[in-house]
Structure 1
Amino acid sequence: MATKKKIITEKELLSMSEDEYMNEDQLAFFRARLEAMEAQLRHNAGQTTETLRQTQLAPDPLDRATIEEEHALELRTRDRERKLLKKVQAAIKRIDEGEYGWCAETGEPIGVARLLARPTATLSLEAQQRRELKQKMYND
């Protein structure tokens, strides 16, 4: 029986040198974080389904309107989370393929700090800023 390897802490992750970038410990850390995000997103989706199923119709029009607005908000939130779930699953796949942590545009490291803030990031901060600047220029 294989023993489960201890996942490093965020402090240990941040104290590692640049030449240890995306080593086995770092990849295990981010996999665990992404898998926890995935589990939470799936749980939230299940809760929404259950909540919508159990809702009673209210005879009062104002109560009914409030319930419908709450449902609409809940569904918008779940739609955003569904999109995030796809990004989380894609990030886990990048770990499996050995591409996680590297900018999809430049091939440079995305950086541990950026991945801590946004574990699904596919671009380095500089590449993301360039992309946003282009979008702003062409969308204005």
Structure 2
Amino acid sequence: MTRSDPTDNALAAIASILDRPESHREPEKPAVAEHAPVAPPPIPVSPPPIEAHGYSRFGPGPMASIRFKWTVRLDNGDYYVDETIGENSAPIVNGPMSREAAVQMVDDRQSDARRRFEQLKSEMTGRSAAANLAHKDSAEA
């Protein structure tokens, strides 16, 4: 019997946490009957502008203690973005900037964090699968 690498066990545990399906999903919509009247297309209405002060986004991840948060705040007519990691960290302050730039920065940071998280998750899942396959092969030999 061979001993497995503790790193592989840790990565496998993290990957299993990350692979849990979402606990909520939208309910399925009933199929539309063939003879149902067709509704006219909706009239496009532009959404109201985003209220920048207090606008915030969270990074992805299974643990709040290491999750990023970006929040826009207004101070003396200028906008700043406070970036924190976890719930009790001191913010890294970015600014001053325009309202639009602050909202864009928050959205860009969240998007980049989500992309990197998904990449890491994919790498960890691949390593876990490879480690399981290698362990299975060595057990059969």
TM-score range, shorter chain: 0.3 to 0.5
* Structure with more of its chain in strand, by fraction: 2
